[in-house]
A and B are shown apart, each in its own frame.
Chain A
Amino acid sequence: MNRIAIKMLVGDVAKYFGILLGITFAALLITQQSSIFVGLMSRTYAFVADTSLPDIWVTDPEVKYIDELEPMQSTALDRVRGVPDVQWAVPMYKAVLRGRLQNGTFRSVIVVGLDDATLIGGPPKMVEGDLGDLRRADGVILDVVSARTRLARYSAYDAQGNPAKDAERIPMAVGDTLQINDRRAVVVGLCEVTRTFQSQPVIYTTYTRALSFAPPERKQMSLILAKAADGVDPTALSDRITATTSLRARTAEQMQWDTILYYLKNTGIPINFGIAVLLGFLVGVAIAGQTFYNFTLDNLRYFGALKAMGGSTWLLLRMVLLQALLAGAIGYGLGVGLAALFGIQAGGTELAFRMTWHIPAISAAAVALICALSSLVSMIKVIRLEPAVVFRG
């Protein structure tokens, strides 16, 4: 009877595609929106993830997440280095400063100052030049995407200072200069970084030079990057650093989660994406449920005939369930497949998209729920169906 159930489902092509459309749309929307959400959330901690060498990130105790750093006194570095089992600890500067491009326009840029001696905390991948080039006079390294986009200049401008109609975009390149807080900086290299949440250009330089770019303040050290000695648990060590220095030490993973949770709690992102995902779910339930219910109603007299001819209620329920599961599985496959295609197309663009294994799993659960809800009403109808209905015309 399974084959008959499947034939009944696919036999009515219009309704079959209606059911598939509903489930596919729901799976697509849930998967795609969740992937964009995860992609965006991944960008919030991109800076931490890109900096792979240190185990522990030490900040001022008031710091809640990576994008809002409260500067510390330089003596904090010695206190961290003094904690047993700390293999090494280096300072880092990180702040949003104002950059002025060659064409006179201003851009907010994230300036990252690396320890002069070790250059620990540098970009994950160089595209042009070498990290050591930072030691050259006024040297800075730009992220390559920003060099091509936000920091690029145009071949011609109109009277209002906007790019002329047919102007060509000229990426910022090695050898170009810009000013950061009125201090000259020379591009000595281009690097690849994971896009940040605010998508601001990232500029790497040495710690000392970063301080010279920064406005004068009593405290200037944003972060201390530390490494646990071999065999020492970073979590335990970060707890000890916190306890003995009165600073806030977090492992890289903890820092990432602090940042994600901050954005989740303090921005409307989860609500907005949650609404989109919920809408996808509801639309899926509405379309798939309605179409499936109509499908069952249309087939009710056949189910009645089957019941009269000796089909048990359980058998009919199994048929309805099989139809729902089959439509759900195909719709889910199509939806997740389309979302994956969308992700592939979005690769290398501004769009944040990250489909972790959890997302298809969540989608599958949502589609299963949609199918369950859709078929539930139909099942109730079948359970209550009197076989005598077949004689009522």
Chain B
Amino acid sequence: MAEAKAFAVRTHGVTKVFGRGAAAVHALRGIELEVPWGELVMLVGPSGCGKTTLISILAGILDRTEGECQVLGVDPQHLRQSTRTRWRGENVGFVFQQFNLIPALTAAENVAVPLLLLGHPRRKAIAAAEAQLERVGIADKRKVRPTQLSGGQQQRVAIARALVHEPRFVVCDEPTSALDADNGQIVMGLLAEIAMRGDRALVVVTHDARIFHFADRIVRMDDGLVAGVRTQTADRTLKLHSHQP
């Protein structure tokens, strides 16, 4: 029990099959994964190896076919739909590859969305969102719409949105793939700096080898299986190519 509590995420034999019969696709074939509290874990591997499927299951937005999965001490799949939605809203932060910021809303309104979904009053939610934007260094962009922001700025807004409600588990899907190298470093630096705490865990799906040094642990996946785990001492310093972030 004490051992289970040491991990924010723990899976055993997780499989996921899409489709049936001859058309069945085995996306995951028995995943064994442990994500300790306070660690930044990167899932790496070729396209189609099951990384995105795995974080979808971990985040409670996709059901596995078989196996066991404990996230923050609960199995999301065993929660009732409404409870699971609430659990996600309270405990999980999302950073998407394409940012998924609502174009009609300002940066602050976008960041406030998770709080509004949890029922926080608008005024308080916006205030918290503005504070979060300040933490990611774009407080001056709070009233700007996403379409008027650069890719790096949009991803900062997305990070602010993922963290504004203080989630204990953050999943990021290719957070740097739409960014240039320097912006990728800055975004990962922010994620590592703001998100990493002892009571929090971060899982990042990425192809970007330039950000591997931020990870405490790199999980290499191949063909729906964990092919290897490398534990390392994370180096959270930015490796910038230019001198102007």
Contact = CB atoms under 8 A, between A and B. Distances in A.
Interface in A1-31: 1, 3-4, 7-8, 10-12
B184 interface: no
Contact of A312 (B85, B114, B173): B85
Interface residues of B, number: 31
Interface in B113-128: 113-114, 116-118, 122
Interface in B69-116: 82, 85-86, 88-90, 92, 94, 96-98, 100, 102-105, 109, 113-114, 116
Interface of A: 1, 3-4, 7-8, 10-12, 301-302, 304-312, 315, 386-388, 390-393
A303 to B, nearest CB: 10
Contacts of A311: 85, 89, 117
Contact of A4 (B86, B92, B116, B161): B116
B94 A4 contact: no
Interface of B: 52, 55-56, 59, 61-62, 82, 85-86, 88-90, 92, 94, 96-98, 100, 102-105, 109, 113-114, 116-118, 122, 161, 173
Nearest to A10: B104
B223 to A, nearest CB: 19
Contact of B105 (A4, A12, A307, A393): A4
Residues of A contacting B: mostly: helix
Given A308-B94, A310-B90, A393-B98, 10 more contacts: A4-B102, A11-B102, A305-B94, A308-B59, A310-B88, A312-B85, A315-B117, A387-B61, A391-B96, A392-B52
A305 to B, nearest CB: 4
Contacts of B55: 391
Nearest to B122: A3
A1 B96 contact: no
A310 B100 contact: no
Nearest to A8: B104
Nearest to A315: B117
Among B56, B82, B173, the one with the most A-chain Cβ atoms within 10 Å of its Cβ is B56
Contacts of B113: 4, 306, 309
A302 B116 contact: no
19 contacts: A8-B104, A8-B105, A301-B98, A308-B88, A308-B94, A309-B88, A309-B94, A309-B114, A309-B117, A309-B161, A310-B86, A311-B85, A387-B88, A388-B56, A388-B61, A388-B62, A391-B52, A391-B173, A393-B97
Given A301-B100, A390-B96, A312 B56 contact: no
A305 B96 contact: yes
